[in-house]
Amino acid sequence: MPDVRRAQTVDATRRERGSAARSIAAVLCVVLAALLTVPAAVAYWGQRTLNDTQRYTDTVGPLVDSRRIHSPRPGTERPAAWAFK
């Protein structure tokens, strides 16, 4: 009988160790998926927007006429030597 109990104990210990390893692996997979979701979404948006010329011009076209883009912030005026000719 002692051999049977020892075998059961060893088997139970192996199951617990395997269960812990699976839990750690599952947590690592979830963390990795969470961390890679944001870069994947940005890459998907960039691929769709930047590779499609019409979509790109529709997205950034309004910036050409934006006064906020072309007017300098106070204190950031360029010296006269930097003016475009």
> Residue 50 pLDDT > 60, yes or no?
yes
User: Between vectors from CA 11 to CA 2 and to CA 8, what angle results, nearest 5°?
Assistant: 25
* Residues 4-46: tens digit of each pLDDT: 666 566 566 666 667 888 999 999 999 999 999 999 999 998 8
What pLDDT was estimated at residue 78? 65
The stretch 67-75 carries a mean pLDDT of 69
What pLDDT was estimated at residue 41? 95
E strands within 1-85?
none
Decide if 49 contacts 55 (C-beta within 8 A): yes
